[in-house]
Structure 1
């Protein structure tokens, strides 16, 4: 994962679940986010009509939906940059 977060400056819905993102450093690409939209805040945003309401929140530098659902810009940046979702090591040291 990136050591810092890049802001998203533009989002375009290409199809249900697929977005074209532009970051503040000029990186641009498509990403399918539907499978990443899990949890109780996403039901409305997962519907086709709700998904299309995505916007950029300039204050937080990420994409958001009207009910407050959002996705982490650093994770989206890594996906667009590398084509892979970043791994999150959940191992706990004992």
Structure 2
């Protein structure tokens, strides 16, 4: 199975609620990940709030064209929960 997101909801504090096609769901904190030319602009709360489910890539994408791989998001969510990646 190819991992992808099925639900993306932006939350305050540079967090996202995510649901994946493998049944996993939860919050991920991206505050430490917003670095570099593409991601640093997402520190603007209004731009971060544009996070949504990309209809083709089926991952998180923002209004400025930034996106993150679902595998990265899933692993980060598990790490932040203190779980081991599957």
| Count of aligned pairs | 82
Unmatched runs of 5 consecutive residues or more in structure 1: 87-94
Q: CA deviation at 1:19?
A: 0.8
2:24 maps to 1:22: no
RMSD: 2.0
The aligned residue for residue 39 of structure 1 is 36
Looking at CA atoms only, which structure, 1 or 2, has the larger radius of gyration? Answer: 1
Given candidates 51, 58, 62, the residue that maps to 1:61 is 58
Q: Conserved in 2, the CA contact under 8 Å of 1:5 and 1:73?
A: no
Quick one: structure 1 residues 15 and 60, their matched pair in 2 at CA, closer, same or farther if it must change by over 3 Å? same
Quick one: structure 1 residues 66 and 30, their matched pair in 2 at CA, closer, same or farther if it must change by over 3 Å? same
TM-score where L is the length of structure 1: 0.74
Unmatched runs of 5 consecutive residues or more in structure 2: none
